[in-house]
Amino acid sequence: MSGSINYISCGLLWIGLLVKLPDLIRHWSERSLRAVNGVLALASLCFLFGAPASVQVINRVSGVPNLAAPLTYASITAYSAALLIMIACWRGGPSLRRTTLSWIYGYTAVLTGIGALFMLGDAAEERSSDFDTYYATTPWISEMVVLYLIAHLAAVTVSAVWSLRWGFEAEVRRRPWLRASLLTIGTGTVISSGYSICKLIAVVARWTGRDWAVLGTSIPPLCAGLGAVLTVVGVLLPMAGHHLSAWRDFFRLAPLDAVLDPVLTDRALRVERPRSPFLWGTWRWSTIHNGLLAIETLYDERLYDHTLGTEFERTGDWSRATSAAWAATIAAAVRRSTQPVLETTGAPARLSHPRDAESLVLIADAVKRCERETRAVEPGPAAARSV
């Protein structure tokens, strides 16, 4: 990739880090959140250190020929390890701590080895594009190159197997954003493996007296760039999906919000909408939840059972019937709440309204559907005049 693409990619990743920074500060104890931010930060360093202009600046400012090489290799290795840890944190399980610690210790040893081998070796002539193949037969430097390439290949291989295998499991199919993320990460890591495979082939060719430098300089950057872009997109998909789902819920919950408006207004339960659009879905959900709590003692159990039975008999869809029953029950409870005198027995209501956003969205859809059906059967102006 060209240097400009490197810097643009690095800048976009830094923007993603800035967006995630508040969550990281508030929830520092969450391993998965730390892992996601680690992947984004280390991926940005890979793009930054890998840009040709950055290589020249690092070598010139440090006064050490080819210092950019071990820095780039270290960032690639650390990024690969962070990706493994992130996938392990997403999956969870009783062996999570042992798995993550083993990867951390293993790749810390690899990073230490990269630094030690570079200091032991002699890479006096600066090579900005073909460092791997040029120094493939140089003592200590060749070992450093092979070490980071094998470490990278191992990490992306395991990441690909984990993400693709998990992405095709039945339980993940019900979570479309997570599944899309895992499949995208899996595709990206498979492509990224071409980086280390091509370089290893070129290095081995130098050991046998052949010069396949083109294989080590032309194809690997393409594999690394495309693979990293896909992998980072996969990492960001759950976050994007969360916000998109929240915005979708914000609009889809509007009919239920409108039904509860008399209660929310009369009892001053409607709080001011936050400025950040990222919080609008949560704000509407919590507002609706406040309204439902205010009328939960007014639910008509007989109305609920009657509507549930009637709608299920008509459609044969239990989920739709349940949502329609709750829509009718909530609307009736709101009407009762506006009456001057309410008859209450003081007994707790048997009915307990759903509290999760998905169920409330289905109820809101039932409200909208009922309003649409009501408008369809109402006589228009012409029909009204003919009556």
> Angle between the 68-91 and 96-120 helix axes, to the nearest 10 degrees?
170
First to last CA, the chain: 75
Residue (of 46, 211, 67) closest to 126 by Cα position: 67
- Give the pLDDT confidence of 109-161 residue by residue, as tens digits: 999 999 999 999 999 888 877 888 889 999 999 999 999 999 999 999 999 99
Q: Is the pTM of this model over 0.85?
A: no
* Residue 16, pLDDT above cutoff 70: yes
- Residue 44 and residue 23: Cα distance in Å, rounded? 19
- Residues 313 and 308: their CA atoms lie apart, in Å, by 8
Instruction: Convert the pLDDT of each residue in 305-321 to its tens digit.
Output: 999 999 999 888 998 99
Contacts with 57 (C-beta within 8 Å, 6 or more apart), sequence order: none
Query: Per residue in 227-251, pLDDT tens?
Result: 888 988 888 888 888 888 888 888 9
Query: Which segment of 30-39, 61-70, 284-293, 327-336 scores lowest on mean pLDDT?
Result: 30-39
Residue whose C-alpha is closest to residue 51's, from 80, 71, 79, 77: 71
Taking 70 as the threshold, does the pLDDT of residue 383 lie above it? no
d(C-alpha 307, C-alpha 35), whole Å: 48
- Residues in contact with 68: Cβ distance below 8 Å, sequence separation at least 6, in sequence order: 49, 54, 55, 56, 58, 59, 128
**Amino acid present at 153:** L
CA dihedral 283, 289, 290, 295 (to 10 degrees): 150
Q: At what angle do helices 31-50 and 3-26 cross, to 10 degrees?
A: 160
Round to whole Å and give the CA distance between 103 and 111.
12
Report percent pLDDT > 70 for the chain: 93
Cα–Cα distance for residue pair 357/363, rounded to 1 Å: 10
How high is the pLDDT of residue 346?
Answer: 43
User: Residue 347 pLDDT > 50, yes or no?
Assistant: no
